[in-house]
């Protein structure tokens, strides 16, 4: 039986939860982000730290994927990955990136641009030790991240070998090809959905003197 296709163009949601004014914002975009993150956590959102990471390679080809925010302080936003992956190769040649958080239930987005630098090995090791044993092994299993492989059995066989090589009681060393990145923001936009698509968009832009100025963008 043929099923009638959904009219994707007709899919829409009217946003009614509230608005956002400059006076609502804190002086620092990091502090404002932390406040919104706490609200997202408090509302029980699933993986509120999930973020879209966009990178560009040396030929100008963009790519995008979802990763998890694993650290935040006055310096910026931290995540961890395989340095030999596509995103790692992109960032090696072009250390600029963009992040986007979508908290649909709160009708909010946060869009961030900035430059990226590697975290210290000490910081990487500190985080790696907090990961579950399976995730530590998984970092080793995915040494060839983003490369084509012959089948899933390649991963299964490598996992078995690594479980034997690095038993849990002995500890798992941090792979030299794996580590953290810090995205230092130069622009942070807070987006709040509004009725009739007249959304509130307030952007922190860093000046040449390193200060933050806030401007309203047209939706």
Domain CATH number, residue 38? 2.30.110.10
According to the model, what pLDDT value does residue 15 have? Answer: 80
User: What does DSSP say about strands 50-56 and 96-103: parallel, antiparallel, or unpaired?
Assistant: antiparallel
According to the model, what pLDDT value does residue 1 have? Answer: 56
For residues 58-83, one letter each, b for 16 or more C-beta atoms within 10 angstroms of the residue's C-beta and e for the rest, the string is eeeeeeeeebebbbeeeebbbbbbbb
Number of domains present in the structure of the chain: 1
In a domain, 213, yes or no: yes
According to the model, what pLDDT value does residue 2 have? Answer: 64
In a domain, 162, yes or no: no
According to the model, what pLDDT value does residue 14 have? Answer: 78
Q: How far apart are CA 215 and CA 212, in angstroms?
A: 10
In a domain, 52, yes or no: yes
According to the model, what pLDDT value does residue 34 have? Answer: 98
In a domain, 168, yes or no: no
Please report where in the chains the tokens 């995540």 appear, as a residue.
Answer: 79
Task: Show the tokens assigned to 195.
Answer: 């009725």
In a domain, 83, yes or no: yes
Any catalytic annotation for residue 144? no
According to the model, what pLDDT value does residue 18 have? Answer: 85
In a domain, 90, yes or no: yes
DSSP 126-177: HHHTTS-HHHHHHHHHGGGTTS--S-HHHHHHHHHHHHHHS-GGG--PPPTT
In a domain, 171, yes or no: no
pTM: 0.91
Q: Which domain holds residue 28?
A: 16-121+180-217
In a domain, 74, yes or no: yes
Three-state SS for 73? strand
Which among 104, 121, 197, 216 is annotated as catalytic? 197
**Closest C-alpha among 104, 92, 98 to residue 63:** 98
According to the model, what pLDDT value does residue 11 have? Answer: 76
Q: How far apart are CA 160 and CA 158, in angstroms?
A: 5
Each residue's pLDDT tens digit in the chain (219 positions)? 567 788 888 877 878 888 999 999 999 999 999 999 999 999 999 999 999 999 999 999 999 999 999 999 999 999 999 999 999 999 999 999 999 999 999 999 999 999 999 999 999 999 999 999 999 999 999 998 888 999 999 999 999 999 999 999 999 999 999 999 999 999 999 999 999 999 999 999 999 888 999 999 999
Three-state SS for 61? coil
């Amino acid at each position: 039986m043929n099923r009638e296709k959904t009219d994707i163009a007709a899919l829409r949601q009217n946003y009614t939860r509230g608005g956002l004014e400059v006076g609502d914002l804190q002086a620092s975009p990091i502090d404002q982000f932390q406040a919104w993150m706490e609200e997202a956590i408090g509302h029980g959102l699933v993986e509120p730290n999930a973020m879209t990471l966009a990178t560009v390679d040396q030929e100008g080809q963009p790519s995008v994927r979802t990763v998890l925010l694993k650290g935040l302080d006055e310096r910026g936003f931290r995540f961890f990955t395989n340095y030999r992956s596509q995103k790692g190769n992109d960032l090696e040649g072009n250390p600029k990136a963009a992040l986007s958080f979508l908290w649909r239930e709160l009708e909010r987005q946060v869009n961030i641009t900035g430059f990226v630098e590697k975290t210290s090995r000490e910081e990487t090791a500190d985080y790696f030790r907090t990961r579950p044993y399976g995730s530590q092994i998984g970092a080793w299993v995915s040494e060839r991240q983003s490369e084509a492989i012959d089948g899933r059995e390649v991963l299964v066989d490598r996992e078995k070998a690594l479980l034997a090589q690095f038993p849990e009681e002995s500890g798992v060393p941090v792979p030299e090809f794996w580590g953290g990145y810090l995205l230092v923001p130069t622009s942070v936009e807070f987006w709040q959905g509004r009725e009739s698509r007249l959304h509130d968009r307030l952007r922190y832009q860093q000046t040449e003197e390193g200060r933050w100025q806030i401007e309203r963008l047209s939706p």
